[in-house]
Amino acid sequence: MRSTALLAVLLLAPCLAAGQVGTDTPIGRVAVFPIEHDRIPRDVGVILAERVAGYVRDRTAGVAVLGPVGVTTRLDAAGLRDAWDRFVFTLTMTGIPDPVELARVCDGLDVDALLQLEVATWIQRGASVGRGYQIVPALRVGLRAWLFDCVPPRLQGERWSEGRSVGAVSRQKGLTEITAASAAAAVGAAVDAMLGALPPLAPDSQPTPAAVPTKTEGVDRTET
């Protein structure tokens, strides 16, 4: 039940007083899946998920973290890509986390917990130019982190964060638009906010440096 312990720490620590978090509990091996969305480049999704994997790796001594590249490689090598896709499809169509498919993926990856981040909401504001004003487009994305236990196979819970960015100005066209870069920036800001929402997992862990807000801004929205 090591994964249960880890995920319980992830989820419940904000609700507990300092010192009550079970940081001395042996924790297991965690797989962090790449972030996939049709509006952000695949490589960017891997890099952003690696940021999460690195965070968990750095902050939690003794936890083996399988990052997004390793997850992809192992899924393909074990022929489990279809099983994972079926699992996510079923969950997002029905709300039912299929324990059989989840267990297959867990076994194939040889982990006891999964962390999956999904871009859940995408709210885009259009540009507008009028007499005496110009509104640049803006993008607000909601990021959902799912935490899965492998033993027993189940959805342990979720966390939410939000990120924002503004679009680029195209002087030639006289228009502004949300580019792939600004989309990636918004998702990146949401990832940073998600990191900030995760509690320390070990007594000697250090807080993550706050993301520097430039054109983006991250906001945590923790569900209770």
Partner 1 sequence: MDTVADPAFTPDEVRAVAVLPWFDWDLSLDEAREAAERVVAALEHSRRNLRIVAPAAASDAIAAAGLAYEWGLFLYDRREGTAVDSTVVMRIGDAVGADLLAQITLVDVFQHDGSEELGTAYTSVLVQVELLDARTGRLAWTGSSGIDWADDLQRAPPVRQPMRWALDAVLEAMPRLGSRSAP
Query: From the CB of 104, what's the least distance to partner 1, in Å?
Result: 12
3-state secondary structure (DSSP) of residue 121: strand
Query: From the CB of 130, what's the least distance to partner 1, in Å?
Result: 6
3-state secondary structure (DSSP) of residue 206: coil
Contact between 178 and 167 under an 8 Å Cβ cutoff? The reply is yes
Neighbours of 91 (CB within 10 A): 18
3-state secondary structure (DSSP) of residue 63: coil
Nearer to partner 1, 172 or 224 (CB): 224
Element (H, E) at 188: helix 180-197
Nearer to partner 1, 54 or 99 (CB): 99
Nearer to partner 1, 21 or 145 (CB): 145
- Integer CA distances (angstroms), 115 to 10, 86, 156, in order: 11, 17, 10
Query: From the CB of 197, what's the least distance to partner 1, in Å?
Result: 13
Nearer to partner 1, 58 or 98 (CB): 98
CA distance 121 to 142: 5
Residue 48: both structure tokens together: 């952003």
Binding residues for partner 1, rule: CB under 8 A, are 86, 89-101, 120-121, 123, 125-126, 128, 130, 133, 135, 138, 140, 144, 155, 157-158, 160, 223-224
Nearer to partner 1, 57 or 154 (CB): 154
Query: From the CB of 121, what's the least distance to partner 1, in Å?
Result: 6
